[in-house]
Structure 1
Amino acid sequence: MSIRFHSTPSQRRNRYLLMRHGHSQANARRLIISTPARGLTAFGLSEQGEAQLEALLAEWRWPIPTRILHSDFLRTTETARRVAAHFGIALQPEPRLRERDFGDLEGLEDSHYEDVWTHDAIDPEHGEDGVESVASVAARMQGVIASLEQALRDETMLLVSHGDPLQIMLTALEGRLLTEHRGREALLPASITMLD
């Protein structure tokens, strides 16, 4: 079964920059770190991630954010903190921007992502190995934008999150089938995507 979310109207009240956290210690060790028990206090940015952010901020080419919301995992918090310090703006943790929960695969090698994505391509509601479904991720991620659109106007929001949730949200906002989220080009660490 495939689910298609209706894309958000192109005339949004706010502008949105979607940012994947910088290269992390979990990336360096090729581990799946997706639960608050591990992700909130450990596996922050790697040296490579710190260098990525330094380069990104030195050559910033996007609108300057007026607000920064971020997943409360350590790697996203550290990423958001660096951007916030650079521009002198406050941070707001947003748990709905957290990593996709990979259930029983927590702490295993990241090669297990491929198994999950194979199931995703068949059924966006699957929960194999206790993994959070694609449909659930899409709903919570889109919920962040929906609530911001309702509450605010004329802001430039930087949303700092994780690779899988961002790819799923972008797929949903484009109105594509959620089973196709891995068909998008992978978002690189410390990359920024501006919503049209």
Structure 2
Amino acid sequence: MSSTDHKPSTGVTYLVRHGRTSLSKTYITNGDPSAAVVMDSHGRSSCARAEREWGWLATVASCRVSQFPRTRETAAMLLVGSSVEILPEPRLNELDYGSFEAGPWLEYGRWLTVAGPDAVPPGSRESWRSAARRMLAGLRACLDLPSPRLVVAHGMLLSLVERVASPGHTVLDWPLPEAAYVTPLCLSDDELTAVVERGLSNLTVPSRQQVPPTTPGGHL
């Protein structure tokens, strides 16, 4: 796995976290795709710079994003002038925060520390663990797309991938690293398959063995 800029041949996926938003800057949760949360000026300038500098973008053959405006906006800026269709993959969506939506992430984090990764927040449809499984499955599904692929997702998925790729660590070793905005992780098909399988295997560990922290870590 590499974050370096190079021109790929076949069988490669570029995984990118969306550009910064005013909410992600201040660690305010947004797990509702219907909310019109778009990039701030820093996020847009990051995408414009990447579009100028990442030569491999001209080779992208397929693109998937989550259903959130900020991921589509990021992909559109990166692929400006390209004929590649930007299509949604719902499994890449951000965590459904339920009653913690639009509040400080630390409030959710404190609840998560007590409740554990298998608990479903009030008003939500999923636990942290089930969301992690969903995101990894969505990333794996992108292997069926023409390569090179651009996948624009959220910080949690990027952090899961970075954690799994770190020797001696699992996705339940907290805190997760905070993923950088608009910074590509380049994975060969073999690397992507291995990362997803290791991540899903990590997630079979009983929740009592690992407890999440009260810091934002790799979310949003």
Q: TM-score, normalised by structure 2?
A: 0.67
Indicate yes or no: 2:140 matched with 1:146. Answer: yes
Q: Which runs of 5+ in 2 are unaligned?
A: 1-9, 192-220
2:200 maps to what in 1? Answer: none
Q: Compare relative contact order (CA 8 Å, sep 6+) and give the higher one, 1 or 2.
A: 1
| Aligned AA (1:14) | G
1:20 maps to what in 2? Answer: 17
CA 1:152–1:110: 2 relative to 1, 3 Å: closer
1:126 maps to what in 2? Answer: 119
Indicate yes or no: 2:40 matched with 1:43. Answer: no
1:162 maps to what in 2? Answer: 154
Q: In the alignment, is the contact (CA less than 8 A) between 2:50 and 2:78 conserved in 1?
A: no
1:104 maps to what in 2? Answer: 99
CA-atom RMSD in angstroms: 2.8
Selected match of 1:189 from 162, 181, 204: 181
| Aligned AA (2:133) | A
Q: In the alignment, is the contact (CA less than 8 A) between 1:44 and 1:74 conserved in 2?
A: yes
Q: In the alignment, is the contact (CA less than 8 A) between 1:171 and 1:181 conserved in 2?
A: no
CA 1:152–1:189: 2 relative to 1, 3 Å: closer
Selected match of 2:71 from 73, 76, 95: 76
Distance (Å, rounded) in 1 between the aligned partners of 2:174 and 2:62? 27
1:56 maps to what in 2? Answer: 50
CA 1:45–1:124: 2 relative to 1, 3 Å: same
| Aligned AA (2:49) | A
Distance (Å, rounded) in 2 between the aligned partners of 1:76 and 1:87? 17
1:177 maps to what in 2? Answer: 170
Listed one character per residue, the Cα deviations across residues 112-132 of structure 1 (whole Å, up to 9, x for unaligned) are 354256458xx4323245563
Listed one character per residue, the Cα deviations across residues 13-59 of structure 1 (whole Å, up to 9, x for unaligned) are 83111111001132245421111332xxx110111111111111221
Listed one character per residue, the Cα deviations across residues 47-95 of structure 1 (whole Å, up to 9, x for unaligned) are 1111111111221155632111001211111001112225442211111
Q: In the alignment, is the contact (CA less than 8 A) between 2:22 and 2:39 conserved in 1?
A: yes
| Aligned AA (2:84) | I
